[in-house]
Amino acid sequence: MSDAHPLIQVKNLDLYFGSFHALKDVSVDFHAGELVGLVGDNGAGKTTLIRVLCGIHKPSKGEVYFDGELVTEFHPKLAIDQGIETIQQSVGLCDNLSIARNFYLGREPMKKIVGIPFLDFKQMRSMSTKVIRAFGLRDNVSADDEVERLSGGERQSVKIGRAVEFKNRVVIMDEPTNHLSVREREHVNELAVQLKEQGLLVIYITHDIFQVHKLADRVVIMENGEKIEDASTDSMTAEQLEEVIRQGGRLVEKMGS
């Protein structure tokens, strides 16, 4: 994997919120077909880093390359057009709309009847039905049901199915299993692995180093806006990575000296 060029390359990134230095000289590569765990304590800079990748924040210094091309404009719409999707626990679906409508949110297929464009409900229904079955929703859930009646895990499945169907290249999962039952958590984690096996880059943000160690190819640890570790899960155990987090990078400095 490391010989191919990275799908996303972050080089010497700094980001200030006013005088607060939120990202400090962060460099990290992310490859297609890789599941990378992004971990670190509260306020470490994980969300800020992925917000740069999603075009929400413009870095103060440093570069981001997407598929080898320097990103010159940071805007959420551009990131979506490049195929970067973020899956968050509490956002991304409208409760009072059907699963079919949610599936196409902002990308509704249209058909023309006597020259007048209408939403193509038939296509929305058939495509979303296919996907919700493939992604393991209960048989008694229909594409016409409102999202409100779905469990947390099913909601995540709809978002993940949408990311696959719309041919995203990068899926960023921000604490995707918070508040889920054990079985739902397993299901969402299996879907994350499926995404990477289909060649997508999956960046998985979590506080749970033990959970992500089982899934990820690599774990990147952040602390106080800095990247303090970037290790393959083959080279370090979950316990060793937890110790790095506990010591806040002091262990890595010691090992390097």
Ligand X SMILES: Nc1ncnc2c1ncn2[C@@H]1O[C@H](COP(=O)(O)OP(=O)(O)OP(=O)(O)O)[C@@H](O)[C@H]1O
Which residues contact ligand X by CB under 6 A? 17, 20, 22, 40, 42-48
**Least distance CB 173 / ligand X (angstroms):** 13
Phi, psi values for residue 148, rounded to 5°? -50, -35
**Least distance CB 218 / ligand X (angstroms):** 18
**Least distance CB 139 / ligand X (angstroms):** 36
Asked whether the beta carbons of 218 and 37 are under 8 A apart, the reply is yes
- Given the complex with ligand X, which of 19 and 72 has the nearer CB atom? 19
Q: Within 13 Å of residue 138, how many CA atoms lie on the same side as its CB?
A: 11
Contacts of 218 by beta carbon, 8 Å cutoff, 6+ apart: 34, 35, 36, 37, 230, 231, 232, 233
**Least distance CB 47 / ligand X (angstroms):** 3
**Least distance CB 20 / ligand X (angstroms):** 6
DSSP designation for 6:
P
The rounded distance, in Å, linking the Cα atoms of 8 and 149 is: 37
Asked whether the beta carbons of 39 and 12 are under 8 A apart, the reply is no
DSSP designation for 189:
H
- Given the complex with ligand X, which of 44 and 54 has the nearer CB atom? 44
Closest CA to 53 of 233, 215, 173, 223: 173
- Given the complex with ligand X, which of 48 and 157 has the nearer CB atom? 48
- Given the complex with ligand X, which of 34 and 174 has the nearer CB atom? 174
**Least distance CB 136 / ligand X (angstroms):** 28
- Given the complex with ligand X, which of 158 and 244 has the nearer CB atom? 244
Placement of tokens 């959970």 in the chain: 211
- Given the complex with ligand X, which of 32 and 209 has the nearer CB atom? 209
The rounded distance, in Å, linking the Cα atoms of 205 and 36 is: 8
The rounded distance, in Å, linking the Cα atoms of 43 and 239 is: 22
**Least distance CB 18 / ligand X (angstroms):** 7
Contacts of 115 by beta carbon, 8 Å cutoff, 6+ apart: none
- Given the complex with ligand X, which of 48 and 86 has the nearer CB atom? 48
